[in-house]
C-alpha cells in the first residue's frame, strides 16, 4: 500500500497533468476561454476554503486581513494574465516552458529587491533557462510564420503581446513569492488560510470580466455534444472539459500542499519538474503541437537549468554517498 508522501506525489503527477490536458482541450475549442477557467477555479477553491478552512466564516483568521490585500491583487493579476495569454496565439508547449522558467524571474527579483548574491553555478543555470526560453520563443514565432502565409505580421504581433503578458506574469509571480515570504516571516505559515483568501478576495474583480466570462459560458453550453461513457448521457463537450479542469485543479493544488508538508524540497522539486515535463510531452504527442529540434534543445536547457539551480544532482549524490560508506564499513568489519 502506498504511503502518504508517495500517494501525494502520484496524485500531483496525475491531477496536474490532467488539468493541463483539460485546459488545452478547452483552448482548442475556444482560445479566449481563460477568464472563465480562472473564475471557476477561484470560485471552487474559495468555496471549499469557506466551508472547511474557515468553518463557514466562524474561524478566526491567523493573519491580519490587511496583510493579504497586496498579495491578493498580485495573485489575481498573475492568474488572469497567464490564462488570458492563451488568447494571443501562444502554443501550449511554449506556455508550459515559459512558466517553467520562474527561477529566472525569482533570481532577478531577489537581486534587485533583496540584494541577494548567488554562486556562479546558479547564474549559469539561470542563463541556461534564459537561452532555452528564448530559443523556444523564436522557434514558435517561426512556426507561426510558416503556418500562416497571410497576415504573418499581425499574427506575430499578437504572439509578441502574448509573450509580453507571460513575461509580466512571470515577474509578478516572483514578486508575489517575495512578499509571501515577508507575510510568513511575520505571521507564521498558514497555507490553507492563504489558499482561501487568495482565491476568495479576488472574486469581485471578475465583475470587470463578466461580459467575457458570460460570452464563453454561452459558447460552452452550445459546444458539440459529448457522450459520456458508461452512463450514455450527452453533455456539451466544453462543459465536461470545464468540470474536469476545475476538479483536477483542486486535486492538483491540494496534493502539492500535502507534498510540501510531507516531503523534502528535493522531492517536491523533482515531482513538480517531472510533472511539467510529462505535460509537455503529452501536449506535443496528443495535440500534435509543432515541436522542432531547436524546440527540444530549448526545452532541455530549461529543465536542466531548473535541476541544476535546485541543486538536485548534488543532493541526489549526497543521498547516495552515505549508503555507499555504510556498505563499505560493513564489508571491512
> Residue 91 and residue 144: Cα distance in Å, rounded?
9
| Residue in the block written with cell 500517494 | 7
Structure confidence at residue 228 (pLDDT): 86
Cell of 151: 497576415
| Mean pLDDT (10-residue bins), the chain, 333 residues | 74 89 92 92 93 90 88 91 85 81 80 84 86 83 58 69 90 86 83 88 93 95 90 91 93 81 67 81 82 86 83 73 52 51
pTM above 0.85, yes or no: no
Q: What angle do CA 295, 309, 139 make, to 5 degrees?
A: 15
Q: For 216-275, where are the E strands, in sequence order?
A: 225-228, 233-236
Cell of 120: 556562479
Radius of gyration of the chain, Cα coordinates, nearest whole angstrom? 21
Q: Which of 100, 121, 122, 128 has the alpha carbon at shortest distance from 110?
A: 122
Query: pLDDT tens for residues 279-303?
Result: 888 888 888 877 888 888 988 888 8
| Residue in the block written with cell 500534435 | 288
The 8-class DSSP code of residue 87 comes to: G
User: Which residues are within 8 A (CB) of 68 and not within 5 positions of it... i.e. 6 or more apart?
Assistant: 183, 194, 197, 198, 201
Structure confidence at residue 266 (pLDDT): 57
Structure confidence at residue 326 (pLDDT): 47
Cell of 51: 466551508
Amino acid at each position: 500500500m502506498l504511503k502518504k508522501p508517495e500517494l501525494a506525489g502520484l496524485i500531483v503527477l496525475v491531477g496536474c497533468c490532467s488539468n493541463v490536458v483539460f485546459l488545452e482541450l478547452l483552448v482548442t475549442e475556444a482560445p479566449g476561454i481563460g477568464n472563465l477557467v480562472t473564475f471557476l477555479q477561484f470560485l471552487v477553491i474559495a468555496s471549499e476554503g469557506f466551508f472547511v478552512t474557515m468553518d463557514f466564516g466562524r474561524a478566526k483568521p491567523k493573519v491580519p486581513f490587511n496583510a493579504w490585500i497586496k498579495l491578493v491583487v498580485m495573485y489575481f493579476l498573475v492568474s488572469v494574465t497567464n490564462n488570458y495569454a492563451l488568447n494571443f496565439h501562444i502554443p501550449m508547449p511554449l506556455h508550459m516552458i515559459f512558466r517553467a522558467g520562474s527561477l529566472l524571474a525569482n533570481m532577478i527579483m531577489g537581486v534587485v529587491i533583496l540584494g541577494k548574491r548567488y554562486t556562479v553555478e546558479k547564474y549559469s543555470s539561470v542563463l541556461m533557462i534564459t537561452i532555452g526560453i528564448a530559443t523556444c520563443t523564436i522557434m514558435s514565432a517561426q512556426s507561426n510564420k510558416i503556418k500562416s502565409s497571410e497576415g504573418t505580421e499581425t499574427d506575430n504581433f499578437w504572439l509578441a503581446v502574448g509573450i509580453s503578458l507571460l513575461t509580466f506574469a512571470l515577474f509578478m509571480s516572483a514578486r508575489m513569492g517575495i512578499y509571501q515570504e515577508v507575510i510568513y516571516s511575520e505571521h507564521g505559515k498558514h497555507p490553507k488560510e492563504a489558499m482561501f483568501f487568495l482565491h476568495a478576495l479576488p472574486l469581485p474583480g471578475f465583475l470587470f470580466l463578466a461580459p467575457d466570462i458570460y460570452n464563453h459560458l454561452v459558447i460552452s453550453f452550445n459546444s458539440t455534444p459529448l457522450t459520456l461513457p458508461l452512463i450514455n448521457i450527452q453533455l456539451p463537450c466544453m462543459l465536461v472539459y470545464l468540470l474536469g479542469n476545475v476538479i483536477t485543479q483542486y486535486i492538483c493544488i491540494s496534493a502539492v500542499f500535502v507534498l510540501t508538508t510531507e516531503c523534502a524540497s528535493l522531492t517536491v522539486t523533482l515531482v513538480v519538474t517531472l510533472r511539467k515535463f510529462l505535460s509537455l510531452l503529452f501536449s506535443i504527442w496528443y495535440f500534435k503541437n509543432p515541436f522542432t529540434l531547436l524546440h527540444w534543445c530549448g526545452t532541455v536547457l530549461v529543465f536542466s537549468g531548473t535541476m541544476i539551480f535546485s541543486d538536485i544532482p548534488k543532493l541526489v549524490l549526497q543521498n547516495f554517498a552515505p549508503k555507499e560508506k555504510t556498505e563499505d564499513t560493513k564489508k571491512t568489519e
